[in-house]
Amino acid sequence: TQDAAAAVEEQTASLAAFAATAEQLKGAAEDLDGLVGRFKV
């Protein structure tokens, strides 16, 4: 049915958004690690 297809599309879209956010957070964490590493002696 069309409702089921729409629901699956919505879930797929939110999963993709979640994955993109996770990638961004990972990148931010790595940047932060780099900054912190510079200050550690």
DSSP E strands, the chain: none
**Residue 40: what pLDDT?**
77
- Residue 1 amino acid letter: T
pTM of the model: 0.64
Is it the case that residue 41 has pLDDT exceeding 90? no
Tell me the pLDDT band of 34, cut-offs 50, 70 and 90.
very high
Q: d(Cα 4, Cα 14) in Å, to the nearest integer?
A: 15
Domain segments of the chain as ranges: 1-41
**Of residues 1 and 21, more confidently modeled:** 21
Residue of higher predicted confidence among 41 and 35: 35
| pLDDT digits 0-9 by tens, 5-30 | 999 999 999 999 999 999 999 999 99
